[in-house]
Structure 1
Amino acid sequence: MASKPRQNDALNPRTTTYEFLGPPGAFFITVGVPVMAYALYFGCSDTSGGCPPSLDIISARIQAAVTDKAWWVGLWDTQASLMYLAWYIFCVVAWAVLPGDWIEGVQLRTGEKKQYKINAFSTFLLTLGITTGYIIRFGPQSFTFIYHKWVGFMTASLIMSVVQALGVYVASFRKGALLALGGNSGIPIYDFYIGRELNPSIGLFDIKSFNELRPGLILWVLIDISMLCEQAVRRGGLQNVTYSMWLVLAFQGFYVADALYNEPAVFTTMDITTDGFGFMLAVGNFLWVPFVYSLQARYLVFKPVEFGLLPTLGIFAINGLGYYIFRGANGEKNDFRNGRNPKNLQYFTTDSGSKLLTSGWWGRSRHPNYFADERLSGDLLMALAWSLPTGFETPVTYFYVIYFAVLLLHRQHRDDEKCEKK
């Protein structure tokens, strides 16, 4: 007679299907993401000799760098690492001491609902207040240190990614841990990358949701501000900062502010409800978002782009349209998932018992926040607006648009599979 399966085995079934081409793909991305982040800096900076440098010198430069011990030592900056650690601690302390409501997330497989503290936007406002006061008191040149210690900050964020991903991976083997359905393959490199535990926590402190919104997103805006200050110093004052730099800061700053202000919406996203917390989310939150997404602002420091009022208004219009689609679609989805339907949208109930919208934005397209009738929309229109201020001298500053298109196509594929199962 077959033995009865243990409760833990039933709650945490073994993962049998893979994403990202399985363990080889997980290994390749684990190595490739940091390499690409560094490559975007060393291949597009004021000392790189071009953005990117000419193809005939790239190979020689890479070989010279990786065989030079001084180059490897130069990736580390003790002061930058301590500053990055202090920044992370500041975010944790702000989460703990700033007031905020506690809300319930979606129901877990255990039948429970996690409690999340909502004060990311307050943390953002506090950070902006301190930063603004610091710049007013000490001048723009005082806040250019992120630009000058760029590589050191990147290395510190990468180390934070590895340490946290390893920590939660090891902790996931404790008794009673609720694992992500996609991260329990038994293959270490794959589970380390995808994320083995669904909601790693320290008491009431949920590690995944905290990292999703606070340290990386807010740092992204601080980096943009630092880039603007560096351009101001080079051009003789804040009054000489280009429209292009102000546009990038305004668009990306507003995007971050919107995400933090609508913090409860993140708790219905796939990152929170489905994915475990592993190296994929850690390196994405700590390294990729702040240091890759700010590429346009960093480029405008050493390649300032000048244009007049009409191009500015045109780029504003593109970003505004993208935001209108993005926020409208995500607002409908978040309201519906939380049991609200202020627009009386139509829907049907699936065989699994869940509900799918069939009107509004989600009646026009299955993924209007990504695409609509095969036309770029939402996120992608905003991504384009963030890159247009850099002009058309190099395709590198449009890397974010290309990368984001690939990312959203993959996310759309995952959403489609989930809908088909429903």
Structure 2
Amino acid sequence: MADAKAQLNPRTEHYEFLGPLGALFITIGVPATTYALYFGCSETSGGCPPALDTIQPTVVAAVSNPDWWKSLWDTKAAIMYLAWYAFCVVAWLVLPGDWIEGTLVRDGTKKQYKINAFPTFLLSMGVVAGLIWQFGAHSLTFIYEHWVGLITASLAMSVFQGLVCYISSFFGKKLLALGGNTGNLIYDFFIGRELNPSIGSFDLKSFNELRPGLILWALIDIAAACEQAVRRGGNPTDSMMLVVFFQLLYVADGLYNEPAIFTTMDITTDGFGFMLAVGDLTWVPFVYSLQARYLVFHQLELGPVWTAVIVLVNFTGYYIFRVANSEKNDFRNGKNPKNLHYMDTKRGTKLLTSGWWGFCRHPNYLGDLLMALAWSLPTGFETPVTYFYVGYFTVLLIHRQLRDEEHCEKKYGEDWKTYKKIVRWRLVPGLY
């Protein structure tokens, strides 16, 4: 029995993210950066970013004051966040949705997933629309007012889930992630030890991936627009409307195409630990909404020309992102409506070599980056902080691309080398 378990869950011998020290750095760095982006770019911080000669004394004075640390906790915000998370769980339970099979995992099973993220989004938007219609824009400004407390509540939920999933992975017949069984507490807590933590048919990883954080991002954007509208005594600026529209479209697209996530590395390969929990629940809603929050207190009117340019950038990226993903998903499901070229591999699988996937190896990432740029352009050029997302996302996607290609090289061997000669560019043709 022990030998069979060891064969199914072998000890991990290869670290990612520079090992335990890197995992510890990110575990501390992600929350610290989330708070820093708020306090370093807000209407009360003295600028965005504040002047260099004021940053150090301000930071020292704050972190050395126990009252400042206490101010990060907001009981009302914690209750609101728990209510929101509970709403998402109840929506998963009661809203109708198809059940689909995930990919085959190494214990010979296929996990069943309930598909109703998009109905949850529509229900959420319906409730929000009803509140605004009945009570006005004031009804959502509480999200902006309790921003820091909501960050803290989401971090508490992330730590709680990471710890519970790590501890529970040692009990029962659990399928562990091949990359999360090193025996090092810090690293395994961060990367995720169990592959698919579940309570009955409720899969925690896929639930967090698409529901509480992603939909909250949309709600935060709408709340920022409401806050700006209240301050202006009228409608939001065109820059705010662009950011909200672009990001809600992105969220809606991801939720509508929910089945596509079940072939991603997050679901098929990575365990569920603090890394995915804090990324889904804290980083996505509170960092990705930076542009909308900035525009609350730095209001810009772009005019029709700049608006048209930014719309063109966004929809160019969206077109590449959506068409590339559609080509990939069709091909994986045995369809090839465009008669795209491909190469056979010794594994019996096929690799696309034409269409957008002949243009570069990760065209969907290229589309993602163009959209990220379009989300920041409405904030103007007075501060680099609102372009943080573009820089971060570039690093994230390059890292993900390297991880993916390392996995493919192990999977396909010599065929992968042949494929790279056919599709030369990784992300941006002629550049990378």
Q: Assess same fold via TM > 0.5.
A: yes
Alignment equivalent of 1:291, drawn from 283, 286, 289: 286
Shift of 1:5: 6.9
1:278-357 superposed matches below 5 A? 278-357=273-352
Superposed CA deviations along residues 352-388 of structure 1, whole A, max 9, x for unmatched, are 4433222221122111112xxxxxx300000000000
Kindly indicate whether the alpha-carbon contact (under 8 Å) linking 1:268 and 1:334 is maintained by their aligned counterparts in 2.
Answer: no
Residue identity over aligned pairs, in percent, reads 70
Q: State the Cα distance separating 1:167 from its structure 2 match.
A: 0.7
Q: Structure 1 residues 22-31 or 354-363, which shifts more?
A: 354-363
Residues 300-345 of structure 1 deviation map (CA, whole Å, 9 limit, x = unaligned):
0000111111110110000000001111111122222233333232
Show the counterpart of 2:239. 244
- In 1, the alpha carbon distance for the partners of 2:237 and 2:96 equals 38
Query: 1:332 and 1:91 mapped to 2: Cα distance?
Result: 31
Q: Which residue of 2 aligns with 1:389?
A: 378
Q: In the TM superposition, what are the counterparts of 1:22-421 in structure 2 within 5 Å?
A: 22-238=19-235, 241-370=236-365, 377-421=366-410
Q: Indicate the SS of the match to 1:28.
A: helix
* Length-normalised TM-score, structure 1: 0.96
1:57 CA drift (Å): 1.0
TM-score under structure 2 normalisation? 0.94
For 2:11, what is the secondary structure of its paired residue? coil
Secondary structure of residue in 2 paired with 1:369:
helix
Structure 2 CA distance for partners of 1:116 and 1:406, relative to 1, 3 Å: same
Q: Which is worse superposed, 340-349 or 190-199?
A: 340-349
SS at match of 1:275: coil
CA offsets, 1:148-173, max 9 Å, x none?
10000000000000000111111111
Aligned residues: 411
Distance 1:342 1:111, change over 3 A: farther
SS in 2 for 1:51: coil
Contact kept, 8 Å, 1:201 with 1:207, in 2: the verdict is yes
Distance 2:49 2:361 in 1: 37
Q: Secondary structure at the match of 2:364?
A: coil
* Partner SS, residue 114 of structure 1: strand
CA contact (8 A) 1:268 1:337 kept: no
- Corresponding residue SS for 2:101: strand
Give, in whole Å, the separation in 2 of the partners of 1:311 and 1:360: 31
Aligned AA for 2:202? F
Q: Please tell me the root mean square deviation across aligned C-alpha atoms, in Å.
A: 1.1
For structure 1, which segment, 7-16 or 91-100, has the greater mean C-alpha deviation from structure 2 after superposition? 7-16
1:68-107 deviation line (CA, Å, top 9, x unaligned) = 1110110000010000000000000000000000000110
**What secondary structure is seen at the aligned counterpart in 2 of 1:115?**
strand
Moved over 3 A (4+): 351-354
Per-residue CA distance 1:13-60 (angstroms, 9 max, x = gap)? 111111110000000000000000000000000000000101111110
Distance 2:14 2:344 in 1: 27
Give the gaps of 5 or more residues in structure 2.
413-432
d(CA) in 2 for partners of 1:339, 1:58: 56
**Secondary structure of residue in 2 paired with 1:6:** helix
The SS at the match of 1:378 is helix
